[in-house]
Structures are given as C-alpha cells and as structure tokens.
Amino acid sequence: MLVIMDPRATEAEIARVKERIKELGYQAHPIPGANQLAIGVTGNQGTEDRIYLEGLPGVVQVIRVTKPYKLASRDTKPENTIVDVRGVKFGAGNIVMIAGPCAVESREQTLRIAQLVADRGALMLRGGAYKPRTSPYAFQGMGEQGLEILAEAREKTGLPVVTEVVDPADAPLVAQYADMLQIGTRNMQNFTLLKEVGKLGLPVLMKRGMSANLDETLMSIEYLMSHGSKAVVVCERGVRTFGNHSRNTLDVSIIPAFKRVSHLPIIVDPSHAGGHRYSVVPLALAGVGAGADGLLVDVHDDPDHALVDGPQALLPDDFKELMAVLGRIAEALGKSLGSPPAVDSERS
C-alpha cells in the first residue's frame, strides 16, 4: 500500500499515520517526493487494510501496490531516485565512473591505483577487501587490513569507497570504513546478508545475480529497502549463457526494462561481464548507450601480477582513453561525467 499525504499535512498528522501503520503491525517507509510525502506500507496482507488509513487527517489517498516489490517500484515513487554517496550522485542524468583494482592486494598497490584512477577522472574507488572466490585456495582478500587501506586511499584521493560485504557478520565492520556496501553477484539472493546490510542504512551497490531475472533482482532490492536501505544502485555485470567467448554475457536489455519499473539507478560492470581487457571499452560504451547511470571498471597498473582478475583489468592508459571517449559520448547524450567531490578526510 501507498499512503499519499496532503502537501499541507502537519508533522503531527504524518506522525499519526505512521503510528497507525505500526499499530496495524506493518512497517512505514516515508518516501519524500517533489511535492508531497508518500508513505510506503509493507507487511500488509489484504486490500481491506486500506480503510484503516483512509480516514486519517492529512491522508489524500491510499493506493494498493499490486507488484510484489513495493519500495523499489515506480508505482510507489514515480520520479527517479538520486543516490548520493558522499557527494557523488547516481541517477542525476550523469555517468558515474567507479574504478580501481578488483582486490586490495597491498597498501602500495591500492594507493597507487587509487591515485591513477582519481587523476583520470574516476569519481569513486572500488576494491575488494573480502573476495568471494570460486576456489577455496585462491586469495580471499586482506580483510580488515584491506578496509584500512581503502580508507587511507579515500583520505588521500577524496574518492568515496565501495567495497564488498561477503559475510553478514562482517557487515558492521565494513560499514565503518566504506561509503557504499557492495553485494556480489553470488550473494544477490543471500537473504540473511541482504537483511544485515539493509539494517546498516548505508548506500548499497547490488550486483545482479548471474542467473537472476528482473523480478528476482527487484525482490532482492526489496529485501534491502524493507530492512532500512534508502539508497540502492543496481549493477548489471553479465549473466550466464551458452556463450563461451566471454566470461559472462552483458545483458544491456535489462537497463531500459529496469528503469521502466523502478526509480533506482542502474550501472554496468563491463569488466566482470567480458572478462577480457579487449572487451571492456566496447561493453562499457554499450552499457552507457543503453542508458546506464554509471560504470564499475577494474583498473590495474600491473595486471600480469594481479592476485585477482588481471586479464580483465584496464591499464591506466586504456582507462584514460575510456574516459576520453565517454566524455564525448556523455556530451552527445546530454549527460556529464561529473567532477570529483572535494577532498575531505571526514566521513559525513
């Protein structure tokens, strides 16, 4: 259900509606709009529940949301949501570049690459301190030490940091260091993890499961949002198909389909989609052409010795070239690449 409040509704009237929702045993999710407040209601079972809210002062209308995903749906919030990560805005008609190594391998490697991508126009830094690896014998990430290194890289470059949470138990720790929490493709339906990450309230970058359809993707966002996330960005990173020429198949068709039904931003990861350096730039451009609000790209200055995913990492010069081409494409699309947030060592 969606409760539409009168633009002139008083604080007391709004508080009363929220209280009533709670009394009914449901959860209230205030959704500020351009002109008026809407309050999403989750947990309700039947349409007749509407009558308990319809007569309250300040309520204009109570609408039934028929989709199984409510908070992620455009039915609930028709206008686009702008996700703000320490001043970097997703979904504001721009193309946000997030770049960095696949994994934090050492302090020197991460600080070096962070500076390289910052100098070339990235707005955010990526890098995994906890790595979900197919092999239990492969490098699993530096853990908390890796998080400390990412925080130092943020301090030095001013770039906000996105990093993956693999285990629900680590989520509060990762949240102490990161500006945005990443859910990996393998964990998109790890509902315990989604609930824990949702509760932390930080912006989330949720990767689409490698075999998840649109509805499943939306339901996972719903897990995050119903537990507290207000700001979720989805990332298309390729799905499993019969093709064996690339690591995954980048499904650009999900971008317009997603935007049609959801108000949230969607970005593309061409690195994990293609799996080869030569395909990263073409896939990045395809994503942007299909309407992506940003890109997540692996960059490494010594990919032959990278501990994770070296073959798909762009070299610093490739990355510079990608930014130059993107600048021209952004202009043609009437979008911008944005400028980096001011260097600020304090987290807000």
Which residue ranges make up the site for ligand PEP (CB under 6 A)? 102, 128, 132, 164, 184-185, 207, 237, 269, 272
Which C-beta is closer to ligand PEP: that of 2 or that of 98?
98
Residues 6+ apart with CB under 8 A from 118: 125, 157, 158, 159, 340
- Dihedral, CA of residue 269, residue 312, residue 158 and residue 202, to nearest 10: 40
Q: CB of residue 237 vs ligand PEP: minimum separation in angstroms?
A: 4
- DSSP assignment of 47-95 equals GGGGHHHHTSTTEEEEE---SS--TTBTTT--SPPPEEETTEEESSSB-
Residues binding Mn ion (CB under 5 A): 102, 309
Whichever of 157 and 190 has its CB closer to ligand PEP, that residue is 190
Q: How far is the CB of 163 from ligand PEP (least distance, A)?
A: 9
Q: Which is nearer to Mn ion, 196 or 309 (CB)?
A: 309
Query: At which residue do the structure tokens 């499993």 appear?
Result: 240
User: By the 8 A CB rule, do 79 and 263 touch?
Assistant: yes
Nearer to ligand PEP, 116 or 205 (CB): 205
Least separation, in Å, of the C-beta of 244 and ligand PEP? Answer: 17
**C-beta of 179 vs 298, nearer to Mn ion:** 298
User: Of ligand PEP, Mn ion, none, which one sits near residue 58, judging by CB under 5 to 8 A according to partner kind?
Assistant: none
- Using CA atoms, how far apart are residues 127 and 146, in angstroms rounded to an integer? 9
**Partner in contact with 207, chosen from Mn ion, ligand PEP, none, beta carbon below 5 to 8 Å by kind:** ligand PEP
Q: Do the beta carbons of residue 42 and residue 224 sit within 8 Å?
A: no
> Would you say 102 or 281 has its CB closer to ligand PEP?
102
| Strand extents, DSSP E, the chain | 2-5, 27-32, 37-42, 59-63, 83-85, 88-90, 96-100, 124-126, 161-164, 180-183, 204-207, 232-236, 266-268, 294-298
Q: Smallest gap, in angstroms, from Cβ of residue 307 to Mn ion?
A: 10
At 115, list the tokens. 């500076």
CA–CA gap between residue 64 and residue 1 (Å, rounded): 5
Out of ligand PEP, Mn ion, none, what residue 247 binds, judged by CB under 5 to 8 A for its kind, is: none
CA 94 – CA 285 distance, rounded (Å): 14
The two structure tokens encoding residue 287: 């994503």
- Residue 118 Cβ, how far from ligand PEP at the closest point, in Å? 19
Whichever of 69 and 130 has its CB closer to ligand PEP, that residue is: 130
> Which does residue 222 touch among ligand PEP, Mn ion, none (CB within 5 to 8 A, set by kind)?
none
Q: For residue 48, which of 64, 65, 32 has the smallest C-alpha distance?
A: 64
Q: Which is nearer to ligand PEP, 269 or 293 (by Cβ)?
A: 269
Which of Mn ion, ligand PEP, none does residue 293 bind to, with CB < 5 to 8 Å depending on kind?
A: none
CB of 18 to ligand PEP, least distance (A): 36
Which entry of ligand PEP, Mn ion, none binds 196, CB below 5 to 8 A by partner kind?
none
Which one of ligand PEP, Mn ion, none is in contact with 251 (Cβ closer than 5 to 8 A by kind)? Answer: none
Residue nearest to Mn ion (CB): 102
Map tokens 């919030």 to a residue. Answer: 77
Strand-pairing partners, residue 126, are 162
158 binds, among Mn ion, ligand PEP, none (CB under 5 to 8 A by kind): none
Closest CB 272 distance from ligand PEP, rounded Å: 4
Q: Which residue is nearest to ligand PEP (CB)?
A: 184
Backbone angles phi, psi at 257, to 5 degrees: -65, -40
